[in-house]
Structure 1
Amino acid sequence: MDILTEILEQEDVLLMEETTDVRELVVYNDDVNTFEHVINALVQVCRHTQEQAEQCTMLIHYKGKCTVKLGTFSELEIMCTAIHDRGISADIV
């Protein structure tokens, strides 16, 4: 096996590892937080557009939960903590 083949195989393995570690940040409905508060949190924490945050908030309200962001655990952990700090229920799944 030549060195180029070995490097390409290592890159393929790394790429597979990165793509299989994709998690979901899920926000749950509650009877406490207002639509405006949840929308603002999604815009500030998850960098959603206003429209995207409004749509997610509607899904949270009517479906009970919504996946608001995809990423690695370490990326989502920071966002999940920031959402918790705003009094909103969320988990990484």
Structure 2
Amino acid sequence: MKMSTIEKIQEELDVLVQETREHEIILYNDDVNTFDFVIDSLINVCDHTVEQAEQCTILVHYKGKCAVKTGEYKELEPRCTKLLELGLSAEIV
């Protein structure tokens, strides 16, 4: 059975989407770090605006976790490592 051009393109697109799948850094709540420290960390490490950092910090506090950065794994890994070095609880998913 011969694939149509549209089917071939769709198959190639599906492969490309899988290869460039986005990941997220998830930041978890803890009982150690202050709101201000977490906000400053998100601004410095994840390039958040003040408003973004405040909103994420509130979500982490009340929901237990929040996705703080989305992108390719290789771009997120050094940021997540820095958050961990600062004593925050985070992982890439």
TM (norm. structure 2) is 0.81
Partner of 1:24: 24
Q: Distance in 1 between matches of 2:39 and 2:57?
A: 6
**1:58, CA displacement in angstroms?**
0.0
Aligned equivalents of 2:72 and 2:23: distance in 1?
Answer: 6
Q: Secondary structure at the match of 1:48?
A: coil
Q: CA deviation at 1:18?
A: 4.9
Q: Are 2:86 and 1:86 equivalent residues in the alignment?
A: yes
How many percent identity over aligned positions? Answer: 57
Aligned to 2:71: 71
Aligned residue pairs: how many? 86
C-alpha RMSD of the superposition: 2.0
Q: Which runs of 5+ in 1 are unaligned?
A: 1-8
- Aligned position for 2:53: 53
Give distance in 1, aligned partners of 2:13 and 2:30.
42
SS of the residue 1:45 aligns to: helix
Structure 2 unaligned blocks of 5 or more? 1-8
Corresponding residue for residue 40 of structure 2: 40
C-alpha distance in structure 2 between counterparts of 1:16 and 1:80, whole Å: 23
Aligned to 1:4: none
Instruction: Summarize deviations over 1:36-76 as a string: whole Å, max 9, x none.
Output: 00000000000000010000000000000000010011111
CA distance in 1, matches of 2:91, 2:60: 13
SS of aligned partner of 1:67: strand
Q: CA deviation at 1:16?
A: 2.7
3-state SS, counterpart of residue 81 of structure 1: helix
